Amino acid sequence: MSSITPKKISDQVYRIDADPSRGMKVPVTIYADEGLLSKMMTDRTLSQAMNVATLPGIQGTAVVLPDGHEGYGFPVGGVAAMDAEEGMISPGGVGYDINCGVRLLRLNLSEKEARPKLKELVTDLFNSIPSGVGSEGAIKLNYSQLDEVLVRGVNWAIDHGYGTKDDANVCEENGQIKNADPNKVSNTARKRGAPQLGSLGSGNHFLEVQRIEKIYDEEAAKRMGIQEGNVTVLIHCGSRGFGHQICSDYLRVSEQALKKYNINLPDRELACVPNTSEEGESYRKAMFAALNFAWSNRQMITHWTRKSFERVFKKSESDLDMKLVYDVAHNIAKVEKHKIDGKEKSVVVHRKGATRAFPANRDEIPLKYRDLGQPVLIPGSMGTGSWILLGKSNSMNLSFGSTAHGAGRMMSRSKARRDFTEEQVKKSLTDKGIFIKSLTRDGVVEETPEAYKDVDAVVNVSHELGIATKVAKLVPIGVIKG
């Protein structure tokens, strides 16, 4: 249990004041309700956030979002902005699964039409999309082809027939971040990444067939092309072993550089380097390569998903009107402009287990949604549902343009394996009308809905604070796990 008791500022805002004796340069702000906060106090979430507040060059406040839980160095659901000139960049502040993210596809197919073929559909998807630990994609790339993916991201996939420009137009960064440099990536990372492009992976990654249960914002829903009762597909995965290796490589580089830059940290897991240092630049260029890998990865899975639907429903992709609504990144660090103490400043925003939630009229939002605000996708657990939100201006005042990225774990994978059986979990899902296919028993048990916080509570905090507000709730009807 945490011995730290944050001060209550309001029903959804708590604060830990900066304590210079602990080396804190800024306070910690926690956005949560009482229930979510009490869960954070059962692990190291708050002490990790206080450690983040000690990093050189940190600005404003260290933020913990409502899905916050203990992570590596930084809490998951943590946001920190560092001065772009004087501050740090930290591989642990992005995380191992670089650009783990979600994308949402919508169709003009109703649940009623989909139900009779649900098992056939989930089985077809399961057979055509590689999943599981170390799973390999259906495509074998040599190193020069991989380099092209690392520079071009989603556009590489589109040029190779895995989608259209319309898909790229509704991805964060249009699915291709500039200044990625494959030369900053180790051979070990390439070896792990080359065979994995176009695969789902394991852990909390999934592909879900859902129905739109309820719409809360008619105008936004219309712009996104979604309507109640229709089917959507949510794809949740990242940069696989490729991003994991880049994080490992640069954590080692950062740890070795601490002495060189005279950086003292309360926790070695926070290893960081000055943003403008040679090591900082190299990490950023390698991380950007992993971002592009992940966007390309989700694009290829999208293509195979569309093909599955075509096969099972014997209709073409255009008949099904299978459009990408949006694609967001979760684990990422980018230089952005934010107001700090009333002045606009360039900062490196680390979002670890956090989603960008920019309001309307920011240049970074794709044209399609620029005057509306950025769509935000928050996956829940496979038994509860997921949400579409819309970024609002309070996100800029409160959380450096960020909101939660999911329900957030509250039970370790090992405890889930001890407490639940595969039969139990499958039965409880079947009782809710959810059909699941998984490669392994652990894939089902570790991801039991009981292992996660209540995604509705997480979303309510964001909605009430006006960081990102409710557009629609989606509930699963078919799930594929690695």
Q: Give 23-67 pLDDT, tens digit per residue.
A: 999 999 999 999 999 999 999 999 999 999 999 999 999 999 999
Question: In the annotation, is 463 catalytic?
Answer: no
Residue 153 clears pLDDT 80, i.e. is over it: yes
174 annotated binding-site participant? no
- Residue 139's pLDDT is what? 82
Q: Which band of pLDDT confidence, cut at 50, 70 and 90, is reported for residue 355? A: very high
Question: CA dist 468 to 99, 120, 186, 225, 397, Å?
Answer: 20, 36, 38, 19, 12
Fold of 101-334+363-481: tRNA-splicing ligase RtcB (3.90.1860)
Q: Which band of pLDDT confidence, cut at 50, 70 and 90, is reported for residue 358? A: very high
Q: Find the catalytic residue in 69, 303, 350, 405.
A: 405
Q: In 3D, which of 306, 292, 383, 239 has the Cα closest to residue 105?
A: 306
- pTM for this predicted structure: 0.96
- Report the C-alpha gap between 181 and 415 in whole angstroms: 40
229 annotated binding-site participant? no
- Residue 411's pLDDT is what? 85
- Residue 403's pLDDT is what? 98
- Residue 262's pLDDT is what? 97
pLDDT digits (tens, 9 = 90+) for 270-308: 999 999 999 999 999 999 999 999 999 999 999 999 999
- Report the C-alpha gap between 460 and 92 in whole angstroms: 28
- What share of the chain in percent tops pLDDT 70? 99
Q: In 3D, which of 260, 257, 278, 279 has the Cα closest to residue 268?
A: 257
303 annotated binding-site participant? no
pLDDT digits (tens, 9 = 90+) for 101-128: 999 999 999 999 999 999 999 999 999 9
136 near 240, Cβ under 8 Å?
A: no
Q: Which band of pLDDT confidence, cut at 50, 70 and 90, is reported for residue 2? A: low
- Report the C-alpha gap between 464 and 157 in whole angstroms: 39
Residue 324 clears pLDDT 70, i.e. is over it: yes
The full length of the chain comes to 482
382 annotated binding-site participant? yes
Q: Which band of pLDDT confidence, cut at 50, 70 and 90, is reported for residue 136? A: confident
* For range 222-230, the mean pLDDT: 97
Task: Find all residues with CB under 8 Å of 321, minimum gap 6, and list them.
Answer: 106, 107, 108, 225
- What share of the chain in percent tops pLDDT 90? 84
pLDDT digits (tens, 9 = 90+) for 360-400: 999 999 999 999 999 999 998 887 899 999 999 999 999 99
Strand partners, 478: 209, 435
- Residue 314's pLDDT is what? 98
- Report the C-alpha gap between 397 and 357 in whole angstroms: 12
Q: Which band of pLDDT confidence, cut at 50, 70 and 90, is reported for residue 132? A: low
pLDDT digits (tens, 9 = 90+) for 237-258: 999 999 999 999 999 999 999 9
pLDDT digits (tens, 9 = 90+) for 161-177: 999 999 999 999 999 99
Sign of the CA dihedral 348, 64, 235, 134?
Answer: positive
361 near 353, Cβ under 8 Å?
A: no
- Residue 317's pLDDT is what? 93
351 near 358, Cβ under 8 Å?
A: no
- Residue 1's pLDDT is what? 59
The number of helix segments (H) and strand segments (E) in the chain equals 17, 19
386 annotated binding-site participant? yes
Q: What is the dihedral of CA 156, 160, 162, 167, to 10 degrees?
A: 40
Q: Which band of pLDDT confidence, cut at 50, 70 and 90, is reported for residue 451? A: confident
79 near 402, Cβ under 8 Å?
A: yes
408 annotated binding-site participant? yes
- Residue 346's pLDDT is what? 98
Residue 131 clears pLDDT 80, i.e. is over it: no
Three-state secondary-structure class, residue 259 = coil
Average pLDDT in the chain: 95
447 annotated binding-site participant? no
206 annotated binding-site participant? yes
- CATH 3.90.1860.10, the chain: domain bounds: 101-334+363-481
